[in-house]
A and B are shown apart, each in its own frame.
Chain A
């Protein structure tokens, strides 16, 4: 068995610190996810409007966010806010802002797609049965849209959790940053610690994301 330098995790509070880093990562992603779901619904409904101005604006928003690497967005918000606006916001808050902007755009596009994927004839056949507009949405359109939405949005949530690994670049001490610190601090005593610690980081991300994937697979099988 090669030396993975795993012993560094048992030094002092290292393992607890690593878990603390994961908590920070999850905190940023889950707050952003909550915000994204709310705003994503609004953006998605706006995107399905026929009004050309509303469409153009939401389209621009989505494209800009999609084209821009998340890291660039993080730099713009974190450094730009200080430079341009003269306000000082913490790395964590910047991260939540960026992830919410990104999540709302992507979630919006998913909501739009789900609403559009319900065929026009479904509205008509509900109407032909005498269902009014509200009942048509309540019993026919939304249940179908949600079924299409959930697997895709869980995929998005997993991506958001993983992408929090970037926020160490704006000074937020999340799980990857803690891992680096532990490795650096033990460079002399355990030169191989990089292997072991990053392996543990991998396991932690896996534990955080895998239940979501399982949940999504279960739902997909149930609603197939």
Chain B
């Protein structure tokens, strides 16, 4: 791991009076996998949206390789090419088949040759086990398949950073694994990723660093071992407790009957 690729300094994001991200600073190194966890409404998704210039920010700065990421800036689409984002609701383009969904951006935005990108697309599809679905339309695919296609669509742009915004939250449990395995594979490959998820086992497996976001701030951060085994703050203990279940030990009044 070497230099910082993404530098967030004193980021502030407000919706009218409501402060969602409150003076947040974070530096992401090349090849690092950061998992962001936190209760709902803590600003996780908003943070990712800011990093991709989908939200205007009220203070601080976000820099990708030293270049500012700003929604209002003229070259924002150029910067977004270097940041891949996968959404909870897949957002494949319903009027295009799988292959056209994947080819649109490299062909129209990067002006790459269709034949060459097609070969690459097929290789990537094979890797996620969907090369037989290249000509299918999104409506013919399951949620897990759609999400893997959405990941391929982001990958083909060769982004420097990948953002995953609760990509399994809308999936049936049996489809979660097929998507998360693709992401694990990308982590092994050394991709720089920021992942928002509620899957704690997955977070433990994939993360180099875990961040607990609360009230728009980094409340606690550390390696998965530190975070899951020795949480430092009361907030993170409470957060982790919310994933375990236990029956209350009540006296069974009818035991003797």
Contact = CB atoms under 8 A, between A and B. Distances in A.
B52 interface: yes
B91 A125 contact: yes
A121 B91 contact: yes
Interface in A87-138: 119, 121-122, 124-132, 135
A223 B94 CA distance: 10
B105 to A, nearest CB: 4
B54 A130 contact: no
Contact of A130 (B81, B91, B94, B95): B81
A147 B95 contact: yes
Interface in B103-139: 104-105, 108-110
A6 interface: no
A223 B95 contact: yes
B95 A128 contact: no
B80 interface: yes
B54 A131 contact: no
Nearest to B102: A129
B80 A128 contact: yes
B153 A129 contact: yes
Interface residues of A, number: 19
Contacts of B83: 128
B193 to A, nearest CB: 15
Interface string A15-39: 0000000000000000000000000
B93 A122 contact: yes
Residue from B53, B105, B154 whose CB has the most chain A CB atoms within 10 Å: B105
Residue from B78, B81, B94 whose CB has the most chain A CB atoms within 10 Å: B94
A144 B139 CA distance: 14
A129 B95 contact: no
Given A121-B87, A124-B91, A132 B104 contact: no
B84 interface: yes
A147 B104 CA distance: 19
B77 interface: yes
A143 interface: yes
A129 B89 contact: no
A135 B95 contact: no
Contact of B109 (A122, A124, A130): A130
Residue from A125, A126, A128, A131 whose CB has the most chain B CB atoms within 10 Å: A128
A129 B154 contact: yes
A140 interface: yes
A131 B109 contact: yes
B93 A131 contact: no
Contact of A144 (B94, B150, B157): B94
A127 B53 CA distance: 9
A129 B109 contact: yes
A49 interface: no
A131 B108 contact: yes
A130 B104 contact: no
A124 B52 CA distance: 10
Contacts of B94: 144
Contacts of A121: 87, 89, 91
A23 to B, nearest CB: 37
B12 interface: no
Residue from A125, A130, A144 whose CB has the most chain B CB atoms within 10 Å: A130
A135 B109 contact: yes
A139 B89 CA distance: 20
A151 to B, nearest CB: 14
A131 B157 CA distance: 12
Nearest to A147: B95
A128 B85 contact: yes
Residue from B77, B80, B84 whose CB has the most chain A CB atoms within 10 Å: B77
Contacts of A139: 93, 104, 108
Interface string A210-224: 000000000000010
Interface of B: 52-54, 77-78, 80-81, 83-85, 87, 89, 91, 93-95, 104-105, 108-110, 150, 153-154, 157
Given A122-B91, A139-B93, 18 more contacts: A121-B87, A121-B91, A124-B54, A125-B85, A125-B150, A126-B93, A127-B54, A128-B52, A129-B109, A130-B80, A130-B105, A130-B110, A132-B77, A135-B108, A135-B109, A139-B104, A139-B108, A144-B94
7 contacts: A124-B87, A124-B91, A126-B93, A127-B53, A128-B54, A135-B108, A144-B95
